[in-house]
C-alpha cells in the first residue's frame, strides 16, 4: 500500500517514490522549486536559441528570395532550431507539472489552469516548428516543386515561415496567460515575494498587449515591441533566479499552506 508522510519542516507533503517497500518518501518544496528553476532555465536556453537566434536569421518579412536563401544557407542551424523547439516545449510542460505539484495546495483549479495553458501553448509552438521545417525542405529542394519554378518555391517557403511567424504570435497568448495563474499561486502561497507574484501577472498582461498591438495596430506593435516585453522578461528571469537560489521561503507559516476548501 502506498502511503505519504509529511515533510519534516511542516510544509504540505510532496511525495516521490522510493524502493523502501513501496512507500513514498517526501520531496521537500525547496527541492521541487530548484528542479523547477533548472527546467525554467532550460526553457529559456532552448527557446532563446530557437526563437531568438535561429528564427531571426531566416525570416525576412515580405522577401521570398531572401528568406529562401537564408533557409538554404543556414539549413543545419534550422534543423538544430527545430530540435531545440522540441526540447523547449517538452521541458516547458515538465516545468508546469513540477510547479503544479509545488503549488496545487494553494488553489488546485488555478494550478490546473496553468498546466492546461502550457500544454496548449507548447502544442501550438511545436506545430509552428513543423512549418519551419517544411519551409526548409521546400527551399532546399527536398520537396519536388519544379512545376512552381524558383519564384513559386521561394514564395511557398516564405508562406510557411510566415505561418510560423504568426503562429508564434498566437502562441504568445499562452506565453502570457500561463504567467497569470503562476503569479497568483506564487502570490498566495507565501513561498515567494508578493512583488514577484505581481510581476508575473503584469508580465503576462504585457504579452497580451504585445500580441493585440501586433495584430490590431501593426505600426504601434512594432514601435512598442522592444519595450512592452521588458516587464515580462524581468518577471520571468526573477522567477528563475528565485527558484534556483532560494527555492521557496521556508519560514512561511503552516496556516498559509493548508489547502483551501472548495477550490479543488
Each residue's pLDDT tens digit, 20-59:
444 444 568 888 999 999 999 999 999 999 888 998 889 8
Distance, in Å, from the CA atom of 225 to the CA atom of 209, rounded to the nearest integer, reads 9
- What's the chain's average pLDDT? 83
Distance, in Å, from the CA atom of 136 to the CA atom of 139, rounded to the nearest integer, reads 5
Domain positions in the chain are 30-249
For the range 191-196, what are the long-range contacts, defined as Cβ-Cβ under 8 Å and sequence gap of 24 or more? 191/29, 191/33, 191/248, 191/249, 191/252, 192/239, 192/242, 192/248, 192/249, 193/242, 193/249, 196/235, 196/238, 196/239, 196/242
pTM of the complete model: 0.80
Identify the pLDDT of residue 26: 53
List average pLDDT for each run of 10 residues in the chain, which is 264 residues long. 40 46 61 93 93 88 89 92 94 95 92 95 92 91 74 89 89 91 93 94 92 87 86 93 86 47 43
Identify the pLDDT of residue 177: 92
Vertex 16 angle, CA 33 and 261, to 5°: 70
Identify the pLDDT of residue 222: 84
Identify the pLDDT of residue 97: 95
Cα 15 to the center of its chain, rounded Å: 25
Vertex 57 angle, CA 55 and 63, to 5°: 95
Q: Which residues contact 222 (CB under 8 A, 6 or more apart)?
A: 214
Residue 212 half-sphere exposure toward CB, CA atoms < 13 A: 8
Contact 89, 125 (CB under 8 A): yes
Nearest to 120 by CA among 163, 174, 66, 199: 174
The three grid cell numbers given for residue 16, joined into one nine-digit string = 516521490
Nearest to 13 by CA among 130, 107, 101: 101
Identify the pLDDT of residue 3: 41
Residue 46 half-sphere exposure toward CB, CA atoms < 13 A: 21
Identify the pLDDT of residue 141: 82
- What percent of the residues of the chain are helix, what percent strand, and what percent coil, each to the nearest 5? 75, 0, 25
Contact 106, 188 (CB under 8 A): yes
Amino acid at each position: 500500500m502506498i502511503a505519504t508522510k509529511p515533510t519534516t519542516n511542516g510544509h504540505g507533503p510532496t511525495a516521490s517514490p522510493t524502493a523502501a517497500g513501496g512507500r513514498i518518501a517526501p520531496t521537500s518544496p525547496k527541492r521541487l522549486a530548484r528542479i523547477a528553476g533548472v527546467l525554467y532555465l532550460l526553457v529559456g536556453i532552448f527557446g532563446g536559441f530557437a526563437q531568438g537566434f535561429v528564427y531571426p536569421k531566416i525570416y525576412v518579412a515580405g522577401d521570398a528570395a531572401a528568406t529562401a536563401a537564408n533557409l538554404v544557407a543556414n539549413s543545419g542551424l534550422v534543423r538544430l532550431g527545430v530540435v531545440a523547439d522540441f526540447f523547449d516545449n517538452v521541458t516547458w510542460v515538465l516545468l508546469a507539472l513540477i510547479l503544479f505539484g509545488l503549488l496545487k495546495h494553494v488553489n488546485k483549479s488555478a494550478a490546473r489552469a496553468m498546466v492546461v495553458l502550457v500544454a496548449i501553448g507548447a502544442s501550438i509552438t511545436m506545430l509552428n516548428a513543423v512549418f519551419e521545417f517544411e519551409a526548409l525542405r521546400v527551399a532546399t529542394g527536398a520537396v519536388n516543386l519544379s512545376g512552381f519554378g524558383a519564384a513559386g518555391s521561394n514564395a511557398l517557403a516564405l508562406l510557411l515561415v510566415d505561418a510560423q511567424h504568426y503562429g508564434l504570435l498566437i502562441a504568445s497568448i499562452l506565453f502570457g496567460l500561463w504567467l497569470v495563474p503562476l503569479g497568483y499561486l506564487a502570490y498566495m502561497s507565501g513561498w515567494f515575494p508578493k512583488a514577484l507574484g505581481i510581476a508575473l501577472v503584469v508580465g503576462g498582461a504585457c504579452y497580451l498587449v504585445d500580441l493585440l498591438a501586433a495584430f490590431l495596430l501593426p505600426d504601434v506593435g512594432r514601435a512598442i515591441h522592444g519595450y512592452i516585453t521588458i516587464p515580462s522578461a524581468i518577471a520571468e528571469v526573477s522567477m528563475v533566479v528565485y527558484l534556483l537560489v532560494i527555492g521557496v521561503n521556508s519560514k512561511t507559516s503552516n496556516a498559509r499552506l493548508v489547502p483551501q476548501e472548495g477550490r479543488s
